[in-house]
Amino acid sequence: MNILLDISYDGSGFCGFQVQNNGLSVCQALQDGLEALLGTRPPVKGCSRTDAGVHALHYAVNFWADCRIPMEKLPLALNQKLPAAIRVNRAMEVEEEFHARYAAHEKTYCYRIWNSPIDSPFGAGWHHRLPGKLDEAAMQAAADRFVGSHDFMSLCSAGCEVALRGSTVRTISRCRVQRTGDLVTVTVTADGYLYNMVRILAGTLVLAGQHKLDPERVPAILESRDRSQAGPTLPAQGLFLAWVDYPELPAWQAGKPQGEPGRIL
């Protein structure tokens, strides 16, 4: 059977989702847990690559296995075999041809900025702190100009395989900046992403929030296809994969979080 899992993880202690030679990955830890529970080590298909230190609120992963455990009980059973930094929220059986990555319609990422001269003792590993007051209205004005279908080569770090062999055009359907007290959250929903695209986009919005970049410059930055024209790549710990849309799976969509996607505490 083909099983789809909804998982959350704190990426602080992992080298990313994909299995790598330089450290423990989320995928490896998940496979270790599956092997301990099921007696076999199934290959898993993740919905997206996440870099070292990046977190996930609702990450989708599917695998094929002969599983006798009812789907409603699988999360509790599997969580007993996983490190505390990884939790399975839900499990469901899907069609044999379903693939977590290729079936995704859109993915939503959040970037969390603690905008205060004093860091918070709660969840310091889940945000990037900037002490100077950010102008969220200017950030939103810049964010609005990223919405739509554009060539996002300017927001792609060096080493992006897609930039070398394929199209760098992506469609952003939503780009929103919200402030809740000292927490500023950038939420981006798109049909696909380039390497470090959200972290660079957030860095560009920060420049607008610091009045170092006129929001009107965003179209020219995109047209330049020049990475040096955009803002800095913000640190990984502020980034979360918040949600993956599978419109053809009503049972999955029923778990879509309401309200502020980047809210942790």
Rounded to an integer, the average pLDDT of 109-132 is 94
With respect to residue 260, please indicate whether it lies within any of the assigned structural domains: no
200 with 171, same domain: the answer is yes
- Pick the more confident residue, 133 or 123: 133
**Contact, 204 vs 213, CB < 8 A?**
yes
Confidence of residue 161 (pLDDT cuts 50, 70, 90): low
The verdict on 191 and 215 lying in the same domain is: yes
Binding site as annotated, residues:
109
**pLDDT for residue 222 is more than 70:** yes
- Poorest-confidence range of 54-68, 184-198, 251-265? 251-265
In the prediction, which pLDDT does 129 show? 97
Q: Are residues 189 and 212 in the same domain?
A: yes
Are 194 and 222 found together in one domain? Answer: yes
**27 and 59 housed in the same domain:** yes
| pLDDT tens string 50-101 | 899 999 999 999 999 999 999 999 999 999 999 999 999 999 999 999 999 9
The answer to the question of residue 58 being in a domain is yes
Mean pLDDT value of segment 176-190: 96
Examine residue 251 and state whether it is found in any structural domain, yes or no: no
Q: How many domains does the chain have?
A: 2
80 and 115, same domain (yes or no): no
Q: Are residues 113 and 234 in the same domain?
A: yes
* 137 in the same domain as 89: no
Claim to verify: residue 95 and residue 112 sit in the same structural domain: no
Q: Establish if 114 belongs to a structural domain.
A: yes
Please give the structure tokens belonging to residue 244: 């993956």
Verify that 177 and 97 share a domain, yes or no: no
Q: What is the pLDDT of residue 162?
A: 57
Among 6, 10, 51, 119, the active-site one is 51
Would you state the pLDDT for residue 78?
98
Q: Of the residues 74, 103, 132, which one is the last residue of a structural domain?
A: 103
Query: Rounded distance, CA 112 to CA 181, Å?
Result: 12
Q: Is 51 assigned a catalytic role?
A: yes
CA-to-CA separations, 62 to 57, 65, 93, 169, in angstroms, rounded: 16, 10, 9, 27
* Mean pLDDT estimate for the chain: 94
- Residue 186's CATH number: 3.30.70.660
Report the CATH number at residue 83: 3.30.70.580
The answer to whether residue 254 is domain-embedded is no
Of 51, 74, 103, the last residue of a domain is: 103
Residues in the annotated binding site for substrate:
109
250 inside domain = no
Spatial CA neighbour of 124 closest among 134, 133, 115, 114: 114
Asked, for residue 249, whether it belongs to a domain, the answer is no
114 and 235, same domain (yes or no): yes
Higher pLDDT, 265 or 111: 111
Other CB atoms within 10 Å distance of the CB of residue 161: 9
- Mean per-residue pLDDT, 198-205: 98
113 shares a domain with 233? yes
Which pTM value belongs to this model? 0.94
- What range does the domain containing 154 cover? 106-241
**Is pLDDT of 169 > 70?**
yes
Is residue 156 within 8 A of residue 233, CB to CB? The reply is no
> Residue 164: pLDDT above 60?
no
pLDDT of residue 75: 98
Boundary residue ending a domain (103, 135, 170) = 103
